[in-house]
């Protein structure tokens, strides 16, 4: 399971111990909202982190508490009238920062709501005027909106797909045992050609990351091969216009990967004269 791999990578321990970059921290927070297993694992790690601290317990001199409380008292006591108010009232009339913030946000929201309703009223009256003057224009406007809406929905679907793909990339990259194999141009083919294969030797999954390959003729397609004990094994065909990782077939025992140009749909065995790139699996 992808989540188990993400957890096994040790990134969550890094989060609790503050050993991550801020980008990685955001990634963990994001993942923990999506996957409850991650929240569970984070609590387990926090528990041992806390036990570790308790195991180092050392009592400081009592004077430290006095010093700390003196600062606290001076912070609280800066408004002497407050200390005599009881806690219930304090809740109502509290000047604490949190309450100030909440009040400010509430006020802002109220003003925003008022402003928004004013705008709606103005907008409605404008629309009414427009309606009276040109009904045809409105209908056209509505149609335009519908098209835009459909385009937006399509974009949302597309970005959902991108997000799902990104999540599988994340887990592919996070997994232990993933090696990166760089496939470079061969003799007689463009030197600038390059493709990267990410292959996990544990779960046998393979992903292809497009680098650069020449545009194939419309009746041909690139095919990935794995070399196992010297013999080529089909890993599937792919397109060069995809910018995300493409999942290929699974393979074990690959010593190298290569790409040839075949008829559209692929070929049972590679056309060696049409090999474009090749790369060895690091040992």
Where on the chain is the footprint of other proteins (CB under 8 A)? 8-14, 16-21, 29, 42-61, 64-65, 67-69, 71-73, 75-76, 87, 90-91, 94, 96-98, 101, 176
- Residue 104 or 114: which CB sits closer to other proteins? 104
Closer residue to other proteins (CB): 51 or 273: 51
CB of 66 to other proteins, least distance (A): 10
Sign for the CA dihedral angle at 152, 157, 160, 161 comes to negative
For other proteins, give the closer residue by CB, 34 or 127: 34
The Cα–Cα gap between 258 and 213 comes to 13
**Closer CB to other proteins, 45 or 228, in the complex:** 45
Residue 171 vs 260, nearer CB to other proteins: 171
Cα–Cα separations (whole angstroms), residue 5 to 47, 66, 76: 21, 48, 49
Least distance between other proteins and beta carbon 277 (Å)? 26
Q: Are strands 220-228 and 178-185 parallel, antiparallel or unpaired?
A: unpaired
Shortest Å distance, C-beta 4 to other proteins: 13
CB of 182 to other proteins, least distance (A): 18
Burial of 68 (0-12, 13-18, 19+ CB in 10 A): exposed
Compute the least distance from the CB of residue 52 to other proteins, in Å.
Answer: 6
CB 215 within 8 A of CB 194: no
Distances (CA, A) of 99 to 88, 95, 102, 104: 14, 6, 5, 8
């Amino acid at each position: 399971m992808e989540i188990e791999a993400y957890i096994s990578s040790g990134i969550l321990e890094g989060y609790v111990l503050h050993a991550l970059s801020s980008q990685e921290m955001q990634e963990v927070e994001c993942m923990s909202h999506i996957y409850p297993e991650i929240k569970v694992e984070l609590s387990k790690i926090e528990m041992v982190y806390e036990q570790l601290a308790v195991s180092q317990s050392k009592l400081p001199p009592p004077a430290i508490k006095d010093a700390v409380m003196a600062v606290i008292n001076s912070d609280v006591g800066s408004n002497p009238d407050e200390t005599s108010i009881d806690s219930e009232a304090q809740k109502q009339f509290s000047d604490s920062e949190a309450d100030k913030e909440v009040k400010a946000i509430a006020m802002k929201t109220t003003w925003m709501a008022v402003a928004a309703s004013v705008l709606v009223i103005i907008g409605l009256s404008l629309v009414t005027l427009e309606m009276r003057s040109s009904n045809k224009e409105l209908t056209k406007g509505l149609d335009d909106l519908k098209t835009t809406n459909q385009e937006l929905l399509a974009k949302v679907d597309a970005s959902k797909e991108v997000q799902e793909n990104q999540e599988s990339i994340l887990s592919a990259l996070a997994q232990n045992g993933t090696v990166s194999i760089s496939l470079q141009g061969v003799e007689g083919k463009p030197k600038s050609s390059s493709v990267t294969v990410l292959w996990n030797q544990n779960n046998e999954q393979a992903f292809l990351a497009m680098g650069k390959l020449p545009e194939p003729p419309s009746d041909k397609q690139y095919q990935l091969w794995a070399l196992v004990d010297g013999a080529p094994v089909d890993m599937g065909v792919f397109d060069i216009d995809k910018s995300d990782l493409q999942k290929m077939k699974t393979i074990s025992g690959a010593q190298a990967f290569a790409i040839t140009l075949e008829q559209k749909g692929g070929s049972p065995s590679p056309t060696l004269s049409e090999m474009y790139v090749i790369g060895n699996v690091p040992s």
